[in-house]
């Protein structure tokens, strides 16, 4: 029978069993190596309130803290919410990540 993917959709390679994680959107249990993972970094305060807080702050160089969160999606939820896209048979073989749209990152 033909194989759809070189790694069978997983990154297990030699491990017999992998712990499961909850999908962020659907709540289904997904093997951790199969889940689509995204690391989200957000400000604690939304953009509209940042200026008000900085004006009211006593410290001039105070950096607002951020929320760091690792999010897991099952394959169907990631495709449905457009986190990842379906690729053609030829493009599935491309293993390098797509180009980032943002500019160069500062220090």
Given a cut of 70, whether residue 99 has pLDDT beyond it is yes
**C-alpha to C-alpha distances, 98 to 8, 85, 105, nearest whole angstrom:** 21, 11, 17
Each residue of 3-31: pLDDT tens digit?
Answer: 888 888 899 999 999 999 999 999 999 99
Each residue of 55-83: pLDDT tens digit?
Answer: 888 888 888 889 999 999 999 999 999 99
**């449905």: which residue's tokens?**
80
What does the pLDDT read at residue 18?
A: 94
CB 64 within 8 Å of CB 44: yes
The overall average pLDDT reported for the chain is: 89
Q: pTM for this structure?
A: 0.77
**C-alpha to C-alpha distances, 73 to 4, 38, 105, nearest whole angstrom:** 20, 8, 26
């Amino acid at each position: 029978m033909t194989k759809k993917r070189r790694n069978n959709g997983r990154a297990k390679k030699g491990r017999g069993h992998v712990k499961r994680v909850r999908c962020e959107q659907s709540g289904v249990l997904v093997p951790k190596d199969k889940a689509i993972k995204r690391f989200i970094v957000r400000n604690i305060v939304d953009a509209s309130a940042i200026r008000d807080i900085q004006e009211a702050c006593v410290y001039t160089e105070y950096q607002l803290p951020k929320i760091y969160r690792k999010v897991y999606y099952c394959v169907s939820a990631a495709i449905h919410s457009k986190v990842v896209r379906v690729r053609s048979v030829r493009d599935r073989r491309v293993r390098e990540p797509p180009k980032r749209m943002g500019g160069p990152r500062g220090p």
